[in-house]
Amino acid sequence: TTNEASLLGLGAMGAALARAAATKGRRLTVWNRTSAKAAPLVAAGVTVAASVAAAVAASPVVIVCVTDYAATRALLEAALLAGKTVVQLSTGTPQEARELAAWATARGARYLDGAILAVPSQVGGPHANLMTSGSREAFAAAEGVLAEMGAVRFVGEPPGAAAALDLAVLSSLFGALLGFYHGARLIEAEQMGVDGLGELMAATAPAIGEMIRIDAESIHHGRYEAPEASLEICWRSMDLLGRHAREAAIDGSFPGFAAEMFQRGITAGFGDEAPAAMIKVLRAASAQK
């Protein structure tokens, strides 16, 4: 029975998780609210349960991947969770993870919270990163099946840890994406091909990742002195980007926002420090609100 798992939720992500595990030989029981979505997976060898309760009863490990925590809670209400390992892979906040952990634990389950850093087409391959946190015993029980879905890691016992890292990665990613969209508009306005920018960014990505790692070290150790490039230089770059937007008569929202943020760092007296000193501006702001 250790080779068995159940999966609730066969949306874009749930279906990809199910397919990855089933094609690697996992005995999987699935359930989805809209039952027709299970049909294409039957050929991959999954068993379809008629109810949530039946799906939960079928396996020691129960993985959930639906829209959100409210939907997860509504589904699990209908099942007997005692003795089960519940793995929640739907996206949410650390607080939601803590609440569901307490709720599931009170019903006798071991709880593992997880976050998927991948799009469905990457699931099952080396680029799908899966972070988990919560009960170590739950991790030990679920690691095998989760490893079939992606590169899985346990990031700590606080149940909210995986969700916190997930949200922090989303913030980093979407911040970069918004900057990229402005960059793409800038390139278009110069009558150049955006494909060239894509290739350049892919080539530069490891260096950017390294800059972020160094910034994270600075913040972790609280060291912002003698930077290679100062916070003021960052402001200058964003101010230049704003000047270009005006010259080229393109939307200036992104450079306006970025310049304003760095300007706050300069106003607070951190112009000569590393750009990571921006964390001190954000700390001061959260204390006020």
Q: Is 25 left (phi over 0), alpha (psi -120 to 50) or beta?
A: left
Single residue of 4, 11, 73, 151 touching ligand NDP by CB under 6 A: 11
Residues 6+ apart with CB under 8 A from 192: none
The C-alpha atoms of residue 10 and residue 158 are separated, in whole angstroms, by 27
Select the span of 22-30, 43-51, 66-74, 277-285 touching ligand NDP (CB under 6 A): 66-74
Min dist. Cβ of residue 149 to ligand NDP (A): 11
- Residue 132 lies near ligand NDP (rule: CB under 6 A): no
Nearer to ligand NDP, 69 or 154 (CB): 69
Min dist. Cβ of residue 269 to ligand NDP (A): 40
Single residue of 5, 6, 7, 9 touching ligand NDP by CB under 6 A: 9
- The CA-atom distances, in angstroms, between 107 and each of 104, 111, 284 are 5, 10, 41
- Residue 34 lies near ligand NDP (rule: CB under 6 A): yes
Please spell the DSSP secondary structure of 22-68, one letter per residue: HHTT-EEEEE-SSGGGGHHHHTTTPEEPSSHHHHHHH-SEEEE-SS-
Nearer to ligand NDP, 119 or 140 (CB): 119
Min dist. Cβ of residue 206 to ligand NDP (A): 23
The C-alpha atoms of residue 83 and residue 59 are separated, in whole angstroms, by 10
**Contacts for 29-34 with beta carbons within 8 Å, 24 or more apart?**
29/4, 29/5, 29/55, 29/58, 29/59, 30/6, 30/55, 31/6, 31/7, 31/55, 32/8
- Residue 71 lies near ligand NDP (rule: CB under 6 A): yes
- Residue 56 lies near ligand NDP (rule: CB under 6 A): no
Tell me if 52 sits within 8 A of 78, measured CB to CB.
yes
- Residue 13 lies near ligand NDP (rule: CB under 6 A): yes
Select the span of 61-69, 80-88, 156-164, 172-180 touching ligand NDP (CB under 6 A): 61-69
- Residue 47 tokens read as 């068993």
Nearer to ligand NDP, 6 or 32 (CB): 32
Please, which of residues 92-121 interact with ligand NDP by CB under 6 A? Answer: 116, 119-120
14-40 b/e with 16+ CB inside 10 Å = b?
Answer: bbbbbbbbbeeebbbbbbbeeeebbee
- Residue 61 lies near ligand NDP (rule: CB under 6 A): no
- Residue 91 lies near ligand NDP (rule: CB under 6 A): yes
Residue nearest to ligand NDP (CB): 11
Angle at which helix 69-76 crosses helix 94-106, to 10 degrees, equals: 10
Single residue of 22, 48, 75, 186 touching ligand NDP by CB under 6 A: 75
Select the span of 3-11, 180-188, 204-212, 222-230 touching ligand NDP (CB under 6 A): 3-11
* List of residues contacting ligand NDP (CB under 6 A): 9-14, 32-34, 37, 65-68, 71, 74-75, 90-91, 116, 119-120
